[in-house]
Each structure stands twice: as structure tokens, then as C-alpha cells.
Amino acid sequence: MPPDAPATPMEARGERLGITFRRGRTWASNSYISLQAAEFAREYGGEWAFQRRMFKAYFDDLENIGDLDTVVRIGAEAGLHEASLRAALEEGRYREMVDEGIGWSRAIGVNAIPTFVFNEQYGIVGSQELPAFRQMMAKIDQTPKQ
């Protein structure tokens, strides 16, 4: 997409929330190693800091989040122990867990990212506005937490 083209709906939503979706990427990263790093972050604390930093790296900084050195550096920037993260990724400590999650996602029909799954039976696909989530919460008879 040309840099001067009008903002897409997702870019406009992101902009309103202070999120940049930088244009110019000519490739897509394979996020498999990043998913493993996210499991490390979840286990050792710092999951949200890691996720926020990884999101910025991919969408704003246009980094390759499929590269081991890049993922380890981003993890360290998010406060994770660099040597431990590298060791876990090199030995594949979280591969089985990630493979199971990918298998489960495919089994329930997830075919796009992001997909938000509710009660393991309903989904919202793609970047959506808040009313879509409120509607889903009402459908599953849940009150959103404020």
C-alpha cells in the first residue's frame, strides 16, 4: 500500500488508540519462535510487557519477530532474563505447548489472526471495535469487567 494512501479501518482504529501500524513491510515474519518466547514470558512474569514490546517491534519498527536474536533482544528489552530466554528457545522448551495451542486453534476453526475466543465456542475475528466485544459478552451472558 502506498505510504500516502488513506488509512485503512484498522490503521484508523489503531491511531485513535495510540498504536502505529507502519507501512512499508514487504514480508511477513513467522511468529513461531515469538509464540514460544511469549510462553516463557507468561511462565516467568512479564507477559504483558513482552507482548506490548513484541507488538511494537513488529507493527511499528517493522522487525523480523521470527529471528531468534531479535526475539531474545526484544524479550530482554521487556525485562526478561536474556540468557534464560535464549536457552529456553534454543532447546525448544515451549515448542510442544505452542504446537498444542496451534492445533487447538485449527481444530476449532481459527483461520485468522487475531481471533478472540470466548467460552471455547464463540469467536470474534480480526481487529474489531469495542461494541463487538460488548455484544459478544452479552451473548455469552457475561458482564465485562471495568
Q: Please check whether residue 65 lies inside any domain of the structure.
A: yes
**What's the pLDDT tens digit per position in 90-104?**
999 999 999 999 998
**What kind and span of H or E run contains 143?**
none
Task: Tell me: do 103 and 114 sit in the same domain.
Answer: no
* Predicted confidence (pLDDT) per residue in 104-119, tens digit: 888 888 887 788 889 8
Structural domain containing residue 33: 9-107
Q: Which three cell numbers, joined as nine digits, stand for 40? A: 516463557
Looking up residue 37, the CATH number of its domain turns out to be 3.40.30.10
Q: What average pLDDT does the chain have? A: 89
Angle at 104 between CA 140 and CA 108, to 5 degrees: 50
The answer to whether residues 16 and 61 belong to one domain is: yes
pLDDT at 129 over 90: no
Which residue is listed with cell 491511531? 15
Q: Which residues of 96-113 are buried (b: 16+ CB within 10 A; e: fewer)?
A: eebeeeeeeeeeeebeee
User: CA 122 to CA 135: how far, in whole Å?
Assistant: 12
How much helix, strand and coil, in percent to the nearest 5, is found in the chain? 55, 5, 40
* Residue 99 shares a structural domain with residue 127: no
Cell 467460552 found at = 119
Residue at 2 is within a domain: no
Question: 13-65: per-residue pLDDT in tens?
Answer: 878 877 788 888 888 889 999 999 999 999 998 999 999 999 999 989 999 99
